A = this chain, B = another copy of it.
Amino acid sequence: MEVTRQNFKDTLKTVCSAVEEADFLAIDGEFSGISDGPNVSALTNGLDTPEQRYAKLKKHSMDFLLFQFGLCTFKYDQEKSKYIIKPFNFYVFPKPFNRTSPDLKFICQSSSIDFLASQGFDFNKVFCNGIPYLNQDEEVQLREQSEERRNQQANGVGTPSFISPSSKGPAHVPEEHKDFINRVIGKVEALLTNSEKTLDLEPCTGFQRKLIYQTLNWKFSKGLHVETVETEKKERYIQVIKVDDEERKRREQQKREREQEELNDAVGFSRVIHAISKSGKLVVGHNMLLDVMHTIHQFYCPLPEDLQDFKEVTMCVFPRLLDTKLMASTQPFKEMITNTSLAELEKQVKEAPFKSPQVETAEGFHSYDTAQEQLHEAGYDAYITGLCFISMANYLGSFLTPPKAYISAHSKVVEPFFNKLFLMRIIDIPYLNLTGPDLQPKRDHVLFVTFPKEWKTSDLYQLFSAFGNIQVSWLDDTSAFVSLSQTDQVQIAVNTSRYAESYRIQTYAEYIKGKQQDKEKLGQTPKSWGEDGWLKPHYTSASTAATFGYHNPPPEDEGSPEGNDAEGTVPWQQAPAVHGRKGQKKKKQQKPKGVF
């Protein structure tokens, strides 16, 4: 079901009850871009720590707009032995609520926009008919403002910037407005004696309207209802209505209700996220870290600085998450699924040993056909993400004694996958652990190298040519991680580099120690190494330890604006394009001398 500003109000109940009755939910977001800084391969360095990755995504991805949100609810029908699904495709846009509400700016990345355009994305639905939203601060602020304005109008008091010190007395009317206000008083006095019921004053500025409210409240404390009305041309003017006490109260009550409804409309799409959150249902996504970050950032609160705080906020908003990309790249699926991109995964879980789940689209909902791919429409992506989850979960059921064909979202069997979000392209940390500390590999074959900004990947290959195969992961213009194939070469490299002038080499441990010292200076506590080089995850289900181990990143990623690179090469083969081009233009001044 497509949901825009036009039908949102009528649909909200349907959405909420679909969430309420569901066994689990699947979500997906489409964004206006991925990175406003480094390109994707630099944004997702293969040796990022989870803290670094979070900080980079927060810094470089959050100014884009999540403008399409897909939700698919899955409810298992025992009798029919099939899932009943309700897919929703929400278009979202931060339409300013009024003149004083935040005028949000967001970035568009032309490659992402162009990609979505090539998939038939309808931008008019976003920009012309997108559902508005507010985060929690904005909602509170708006409700306070509305309350304040009502009090002021009731008391005849302007906002503090305009009032005279004695706000309960007659309004202080600046000289140049005195004529105007006197004319208004004359008109209102005439209204009180003539047979008219209503007086429409001429459109005027906000400041003049404040003066009118103040003056009328002071001069005519009874018998009038005063209200700001907008013309078709969006000009604002004041309407004065002769009323008895009862009608005045009734009108004010109506006005209050209208304002409340307008406020609810402004909260808009955030109410869907609140409903999902409140339900506590399992929320499934594919490669969902960016989706989760954007959802919290846009509809709840600005993302916290610290990763640990982010984890806590996330667990409040989404108490139970499952990432199908992480599931598919973990045992026992890892060996069976060669490509974990959503489109490929969806194809693979249709084939043996998996079984396509039986699903039925609920009446009144658009029925998706997986044979006619509608990839990168958020509602469709959410739908097939749910299908992938069901197929993989049911497959796990085949290992039970006795085997089970249907595994529910609440089953113990899927618990090990809860609250672990896939980390794109990190070589040795497969997931972000939301409910405990993250894995901390020692990385004792890794060097941290700094060098002149003219250097390129080939210069690093040349510098380390004596060490055979190396892997380069760029950090920025002047530094990179270099992974050696043999750990015992690390010390040789570090020692030799002592005599180098143009570059500098540290071990990974030294690099992390430096970072932690920087952090301690800022008053944060460092984390210590586990004895085996890993910090055990807080989560200690028996099956977890067996399930999660060191594993390589999946060989193929998706090429879409959900944070994935179009090119299927591994990151260390690919010098960041920006550096590459820049390098070609510049004359190389500092060349590595191949000291090893």
Judge whether A104 is part of the interface by a CB distance below 8 angstroms.
Answer: yes
Q: Which residues 421-478 of A sit at the B interface, judged by CB distance below 8 A? A: 456-458, 469
Given contact pairs A99-B567, A159-B584, A567-B99, A117 touches B110 in the complex (Cβ within 8 A): no
Segment touching B, from A237-245, A391-399, A546-554, A569-577: A569-577
Segment touching B, from A119-127, A515-523, A533-541: A119-127
Judge whether A103 is part of the interface by a CB distance below 8 angstroms.
Answer: yes
- B93/A160 in contact, CB under 8 A: no
Closest B residue by C-beta to A106: B108
Judge whether A353 is part of the interface by a CB distance below 8 angstroms.
Answer: no
- A566/B99 in contact, CB under 8 A: yes
Q: Contact flags (1/0) for A85-111 with B, using CB distance below 8 Å?
A: 000000001111001100111111111
- A161/B127 in contact, CB under 8 A: no
Given contact pairs A105-B33, A108-B106, A577-B100, A160 touches B458 in the complex (Cβ within 8 A): yes
Given contact pairs A108-B105, A161-B580, A114 touches B96 in the complex (Cβ within 8 A): yes
- B128/A161 in contact, CB under 8 A: no
Q: Contact flags (1/0) for A32-70 with B, using CB distance below 8 Å?
A: 110010010000000000000000000000000100000
Q: How many residues does chain A have at the interface if contact means C-beta atoms less than 8 Å apart? A: 60
Judge whether A583 is part of the interface by a CB distance below 8 angstroms.
Answer: yes
Given contact pairs A105-B36, A205-B567, A566-B99, A161 touches B456 in the complex (Cβ within 8 A): yes
Q: Which residues of B contact A111 (CB under 8 A)?
A: 96, 103
Q: Which residues of B contact A95 (CB under 8 A)?
A: 110, 114
Task: Knowing that A32-B108, A159-B584, A205-B568 touch, tell me 13 more A-B residue pairs with CB under 8 angstroms.
Answer: A39-B103, A93-B113, A99-B567, A99-B577, A103-B110, A105-B107, A105-B109, A107-B107, A121-B128, A145-B581, A174-B469, A175-B469, A234-B566
Chain A residues packing against B (C-beta within 8 Å): 32-33, 36, 39, 65, 93-96, 99-100, 103-111, 113-114, 116-117, 121-124, 126-128, 141, 145, 159-163, 174-176, 205-207, 234, 456-458, 469, 566-569, 573, 575, 577, 580-581, 583-584
